Structure 1
């Protein structure tokens, strides 16, 4: 086997380095070893890290008999029915049922929910003094998912709103620690929260049996059928709802916090976005959402595992059992792919759509996040509402540093903002009469 070069220090040393210097460590290893290098760390074990777009495309398009889901992943905290845990044909079977709610006209039905939640949360914002937007973005995305995906309301909505943030944060930390799964130690608290979550979801499923007027994702899950006509089990529904929340709640909220952090330091982009909102446009805002995800990816790694006897990857041959780690930040910072990659420049996406082997915040291939369109729509609506109703005050302060929250990388200060509510001129009686006559 011809493997790429890599550090020869013991696994625990490499693991400590990866935990304490994730961003800088990846950059330094690429500078030393090239676009592909070998590592040996806890959780992933022996792995090859890649950042060449051609090799990434090869991995993303390979069949599941060649590469498939990495074994140690979020599935151990999200449940055996989660898309993170499933592999091969079972994964495709489950994914097929979950794609329809997150595309096309279905997304339009969720926009009003997201705007309502944004307006409600922004009404609590202080004016004229710094505050972190991250907690607000967390509440917006959580409430939106509970309503649009879980169909939750009343007592179940309130209980899940209290339980799930703690549950997801605790689970995400367990997922990245090399602690064996069990019923004792740190896992005991986790399983107690999981039992409470399952009981609430079972009550929601019972309520959702009456499907009249329901257009939430849970209702669609209950109506969906596999090719043999069988429905999803209640345990699989609970696992998938938790997966959708985990994949779309904190990551979307964190990206929105990064958007605020970046826009305050780029007043020209901010000014152009406000003008576009006032004119009813959206092209620059959509490009801004893409650029924030490029320059500040919340999730930094995409993993696969070699299932064939070996995988030929460019000049390298990777043996069975090895993990393939795609470094999102290294790809997004590659000057061969993005000119002046460290610059925040939404204009780069105004004339060109992202290449999904180069712009990969949602992963890629058959395991690309199926909620990607929902997440981008949600960020678009939140930014539109924010810029329409508030003035976001620019700053000359240095950019916020990266802060690891277990799975996600967030702005260290939570995306500090200073805002003032925008005052819109009220039309005079003469103007209103004239407008009516012209109409």
Structure 2
């Protein structure tokens, strides 16, 4: 017997309009009226149950791929059929296995200096003493960092990708849930995206050709080199088409969301001067615990992605609800992060709640969960840590009493409406008194 959460009586188009134009306010109003689960009509997912109960979320994330698979439709529509977002079952597991090594352990640590170098280079352009939005800067940092991590050394191709990818990501995020026309002219939105994708494929082909001719390929640490040398269990290599799709997935997913989270960090820290002060003290002392907690907390209070979910392939029982085959189930990231039963005083920005503890990955879900959890979560966390550390080391971020910046949808990610306005001053270098015969440099 099908038992779905309650649904509003308003017409479907009204439900869709409210949810799409005011996602946070709309979802929270639904919770106030119906509780932690309800069913809404949300294009393109249809009549979909929305859940935010931790136990039900855990059940969904732990369901086998025979029962619950990747949400339909998904980012694979714009990233390609070989993207992790599009792949299912054994194909997804095989591809994911090939992509895990570059983003963990020693390989991950090798990228830290790269991220710091890109941060220092971008911070040198920051104006002092006047307001400016940091989001364009953080977008350049994250784009340059992921390009170098994926492809290695600089070159003409990377310059082309720096120009091309931001336009592709912006256009693709707007097209994500729109119907794909059978035809469509060259200058239609889908036509422009296909043209950009063809240009991207040509650039990647040249980079692959160069890498395959590199006699020292096995000494390189970049993701492309590792992927070219990786093999599936049957000994075969990844096809060029799948390689291009996976690289685009890494470039797009590893760029926009991290840049937006950095902008939210600036927005939140400027409005919490006590936390900001303690972070600077910690940076000067060489610590990191509060910084890591602050990064976790900003992803809780300002998640850049609204929802994750699963497509139901076989009837499933989720706590109180029986969801039939063919439905999509949506998990509201904002609602579980805003649940006082899970996070006391949830709307307060309070990094201390994560000091000395790690979040439960079925409660804190900015990267999704289960087998579909974001592959680049560790890379993103490292990048956020390095960029924030470098910024606080080199600049004084001026607090503000301005109202909170509102949420603004950028297609896939939710950003601060003004781009994370900052006012900064470069910190002067001071020399601390020598200790035990050693001289230590620090920033004042």
CA contact (8 A) 1:129 1:419 kept: yes
1:387-408 alpha-carbon deviations (Å, 9 max, x no partner): 0000000001111000000110
Which of 390, 394, 418 is residue 395 of structure 2 equivalent to?
Answer: 390
For 1:280 and 1:363, the matched residues in 2 are separated by 31
User: Is 1:197–2:204 an aligned residue pair?
Assistant: no
Q: Name the residue aligned to 2:135.
A: 134
* Corresponding residue SS for 1:144: helix
CA contact (8 A) 1:107 1:374 kept: yes
CA contact (8 A) 2:218 2:225 kept: no
Measure how far apart 1:97 and its partner are: 0.6
CA contact (8 A) 2:299 2:366 kept: yes
Q: Name the residue aligned to 2:442.
A: none
User: Is 1:7–2:8 an aligned residue pair?
Assistant: yes
CA contact (8 A) 2:309 2:329 kept: yes
**Aligned pairs (5 A) from 1:356-371:** 356-371=361-376
Measure how far apart 1:188 and its partner are: 0.4
User: Is 1:280–2:286 an aligned residue pair?
Assistant: yes
For 1:128 and 1:182, the matched residues in 2 are separated by 52
**Aligned pairs (5 A) from 1:319-330:** 319-330=324-335
**Aligned pairs (5 A) from 1:91-110:** 91-110=92-111
For 1:378 and 1:115, the matched residues in 2 are separated by 9
User: Is 1:246–2:252 an aligned residue pair?
Assistant: yes
1:176-231 alpha-carbon deviations (Å, 9 max, x no partner): 3x323444132100000000000000111111112053110111100110000000
User: Is 1:372–2:415 an aligned residue pair?
Assistant: no
Q: Name the residue aligned to 2:47.
A: 46
User: Is 1:171–2:135 an aligned residue pair?
Assistant: no
CA contact (8 A) 1:152 1:204 kept: no
Name the CA shift for 1:182/1:286 in 2 (closer, same or farther; >3 Å).
farther
* Corresponding residue SS for 2:233: coil
Measure how far apart 1:164 and its partner are: 0.2
For 1:35 and 1:58, the matched residues in 2 are separated by 15
Q: Name the residue aligned to 1:186.
A: 189
Q: Name the residue aligned to 1:28.
A: 29
**Aligned pairs (5 A) from 1:23-422:** 23-151=24-152, 153-176=154-177, 178-184=178-184, 185-209=188-212, 210=214, 211-308=217-314, 310-422=315-427
CA contact (8 A) 1:103 1:373 kept: yes
- Give ranges in structure 2 of 5+ residues lacking alignment: 440-444
For 1:49 and 1:415, the matched residues in 2 are separated by 30
Q: TM-score, normalised by structure 2?
A: 0.95
CA contact (8 A) 2:130 2:423 kept: yes
For 1:319 and 1:8, the matched residues in 2 are separated by 21
1:331-354 alpha-carbon deviations (Å, 9 max, x no partner): 000000001100000111112210
CA contact (8 A) 1:150 1:241 kept: no
Measure how far apart 1:127 and its partner are: 0.2
How many residue pairs match? The answer is 432
CA contact (8 A) 2:31 2:38 kept: yes
Please say which of residues 2-11 and 337-346 is displaced more in the overlay. 2-11
Name the CA shift for 1:62/1:434 in 2 (closer, same or farther; >3 Å).
closer
* Corresponding residue SS for 1:9: coil
- Give ranges in structure 1 of 5+ residues lacking alignment: none
